[in-house]
Amino acid sequence: MKRWIGIVQMVFFLSLIGAPWVGAAGPDTLVVGVSSDIHTLDSGVSSDNYDWRQIYPCYDRLVKYKVINGKGSTEVEPQAAESWSVSDDGTVWTFKIRKGMAFDDGTALDATAVKFSFERTLKIGKGPADNIGAIKAMRIVDPYTLEVTLKNAYGPFLQTLATDGANIVNPNIMKHEKGGDLAQAWLAEHTDGSGPFKLVEWTRGQRAVLEAKSNYWGGAPKVKKVVVRFMAESADRRMALERGDIDIAENILIDQIPALEKNPDVAVQRYPSQLVEYVYINNQKSPLDNPKVRQALCYAVDYQGIIDYVLQGNGVQMRGPVPKGMWGHKSDLFQHTLDAAKAKSLLKEAGFGSGLNLTLIYSERRSSWEQIATILQSNFAQIGVTLKLQLMANPTLRDRVDKGDFELCLGAWSPDFADPFMFMNFWFDSKLWGLPGNRSFYKNDEVDALIRKAASIADQGQRTQLYQKAQEIIMDDAPYIFLYQVQTVVPMRKNVHGYVYNPMLESMYNFESISKE
């Protein structure tokens, strides 16, 4: 029995030790509680909003998303670029760069720095390169004038310059280059931009700390420090928010929201988002290379049950890849619904009438995923598919997705600029297999041709037609299981002011204008 008393004592003391460490932060420090650690800080590499949350405020971009009446919009306004002009055919853009901006080591932010940053991102060729992939060539007209030539007129070009992939990086980072890696190893763990913040600490699995620059050209941020704490448990984040240890809690389990709303110190805001959650089906792995098997899986999912109960109605089922609210969405596109009998017969036709074993990998990145995974397991069991669930750390999961080392995987995606390109080209272009976007390793030449053509013309009506035609083929091929589009719920302390939500900047914050009383 003594052992038991010992354990009880130990737990008691540990809980005492734990308590003082997490004191409430002062008005100069903003603390955000998030679900998972970050991956890299290199804006030329990362295609993850959770990384961008930290990277984005450390850099300036040529343009930024406008805030209209306190709401984020998809229109852009000048940031590092003072003004710009465009040739009549829409292919040559000339940017006048604002004078007086500098990186921390005194290097001026000029046309050279912009050209360097874009070239670096394009050379690395990961996900962000596709954001600014329209660029063909760049020419420095004078130190503060940059001329950018596009491969073709490209509608959303200006907006792509407001995304994290278009961050302007200090050219001096090249002194950290090792073995021709374009300083990727160094920039993965550091930031070097002219933005309002800089990263001063990243303790893996614990926290990242951004420090405000009082001499930022756009005016000093209102808080001096931003601490992003990695707290895996939704319940932990919620308690920390209620205690005031953190100011903003990301990704709280929807079941806990009603209780949070009762707390007088907490404000819960809901925003219609374009964030979608879906399942990557590895199209290259047998038996998932058979479209009938993929179709069967799509028919086996209880979409309405998930939305009604797990999301508590805070979402709608996806209809094809392009979310509602984005142009190019096809409101009469075919949509899978739960039909176990049809799923079974499809499996039988594919030669798996006797059943099938599959593995789904997922992380705790989104608080709902564990429940979704369990529901999928049960749904698939109805059609004779035994689903093994494998939970892993988010960085491990992303590595496996990039390598194609999985069968099924839960994913979330949100657009960085308001163009169906974000969905159609990223998700289905066979050149973008892996993390950059085509995470189901899908390849269909017809779709490739359609979406590439759509990306190469400017006329929105014509592009809509091409994208919608591609969507019809895609629904037959069923490369993903399209689950739902969610509402973003952001609970924060009532004394936090100035937060602006933008569906293009999902999970990213305008730290520079947020203040705390």
Partner 1 sequence: MKPKTNLHPKWRELKLTGRLLRSNPTAMAGLIILVAMGLMALCAGWLAPYDPIKLSLGERLQPPGAVHWFGTDEMGRDILSRVMFGARISLRIGFVVICIAGGLGSVIGAVAGYYGGRVDNIIMRVMDVILSFPSLVLAMALAAAMGPSLNNAIMAVAFVMIPKFARLVRGEALSVKEMPFIAAARVSGARNRWIIAHHILPNCLNSVIVLGTLTLGDTILIAASLSFIGLGAQPPTPEWGAMISVGRKFLLDQWWYATFPGLFILTTVIGFNILGDALRDILDPRIRR
CA distance 134 to 91: 10
Which residue's CB is nearer to partner 1, number 3 or number 175?
3
For partner 1, the binding residue among 233, 339, 399, 448 (CB under 8 A) is 233
For partner 1, the binding residue among 220, 259, 341, 449 (CB under 8 A) is 259
Strand partners, 229: 33, 207
For partner 1, the binding residue among 309, 404, 458, 464 (CB under 8 A) is 309
CB 98 within 8 A of CB 81: yes
Give least dist CB 360 to partner 1, A. 10
Please tell me whether residue 21 binds partner 1 under the rule CB under 8 A: no
Give least dist CB 241 to partner 1, A. 12
CA distance 165 to 42: 9
Please tell me whether residue 378 binds partner 1 under the rule CB under 8 A: yes
For partner 1, the binding residue among 74, 107, 172, 256 (CB under 8 A) is 256
For partner 1, the binding residue among 270, 388, 431, 494 (CB under 8 A) is 388
Which residue's CB is nearer to partner 1, number 162 or number 376?
376
DSSP-derived 3-state class of residue 135: strand
Please tell me whether residue 255 binds partner 1 under the rule CB under 8 A: yes
Choose among 290, 291, 280, 295: nearest CA to 405. 280
- Neighbour count for residue 211 (Cβ, 10 Å): 15
Which residue's CB is nearer to partner 1, number 4 or number 21?
4
Q: With b meaning 16 or more CB within 10 Å and e meaning fewer, what string describes 6-36?
A: eeeeeeeeeeeeeeeeeeebeeebbbbbbbb
Please tell me whether residue 234 binds partner 1 under the rule CB under 8 A: yes
Please tell me whether residue 366 binds partner 1 under the rule CB under 8 A: no
Which residue's CB is nearer to partner 1, number 388 or number 431?
388
Please tell me whether residue 268 binds partner 1 under the rule CB under 8 A: no
Choose among 155, 59, 168: nearest CA to 121. 168
Q: Which two tokens stand for residue 434?
A: 């892996």
Q: Which two tokens stand for residue 281?
A: 């089906």
CA distance 42 to 52: 9
Please tell me whether residue 391 binds partner 1 under the rule CB under 8 A: yes
Please tell me whether residue 371 binds partner 1 under the rule CB under 8 A: yes
Helical segments of 301-420, H only: 303-305, 340-349, 369-381, 394-403
Which residue's CB is nearer to partner 1, number 131 or number 368?
368
Which residue's CB is nearer to partner 1, number 18 or number 106?
18
Give least dist CB 385 to partner 1, A. 14
Which residue's CB is nearer to partner 1, number 33 or number 196?
33
Stretch that binds partner 1, among 84-92, 147-155, 330-338, 365-373 (CB under 8 A): 365-373
Side chain identity, residue 410: L
Please tell me whether residue 302 binds partner 1 under the rule CB under 8 A: yes
Please tell me whether residue 317 binds partner 1 under the rule CB under 8 A: no
CA distance 121 to 128: 7
Which residue's CB is nearer to partner 1, number 210 or number 483?
483
For partner 1, the binding residue among 200, 235, 341, 473 (CB under 8 A) is 235
Stretch that binds partner 1, among 330-338, 367-375, 398-406, 506-514 (CB under 8 A): 367-375
Which DSSP letter does residue 278 get? Answer: E
- Rounded to the nearest 5°, which phi and psi values hold at 271? -130, 135
Which residue's CB is nearer to partner 1, number 63 or number 373?
373
DSSP-derived 3-state class of residue 63: strand
Please tell me whether residue 12 binds partner 1 under the rule CB under 8 A: no
Label residue 68 exposed, middle or buried (CB < 10 Å: 0-12, 13-18, 19+).
exposed
DSSP 190-221: ---BSSSEEEEEEETTTEEEEEE-TT-TT---
Please tell me whether residue 375 binds partner 1 under the rule CB under 8 A: yes
Please tell me whether residue 350 binds partner 1 under the rule CB under 8 A: no
Q: Which two tokens stand for residue 447?
A: 């779709």
For partner 1, the binding residue among 201, 308, 405, 476 (CB under 8 A) is 308
Please tell me whether residue 19 binds partner 1 under the rule CB under 8 A: no
DSSP-derived 3-state class of residue 314: coil
Task: Give the distance, in angstroms, between the CA of residue 13 and the centroid of all CA atoms in the same chain.
Answer: 40
Please tell me whether residue 374 binds partner 1 under the rule CB under 8 A: yes
Strand partners, 183: none
Q: Which two tokens stand for residue 88?
A: 């009549």
Please tell me whether residue 30 binds partner 1 under the rule CB under 8 A: no
- How distant, in Å, are the alpha carbons of 73, 490, 501 from that of 69? 10, 19, 12
Please tell me whether residue 292 binds partner 1 under the rule CB under 8 A: no
Q: Which two tokens stand for residue 174?
A: 């090249």
Please tell me whether residue 390 binds partner 1 under the rule CB under 8 A: yes
Binding residues for partner 1 (CB under 8 A) = 1, 4, 233-235, 238-239, 253, 255-256, 259, 302, 305, 308-310, 367, 370-371, 373-375, 377-378, 388-391
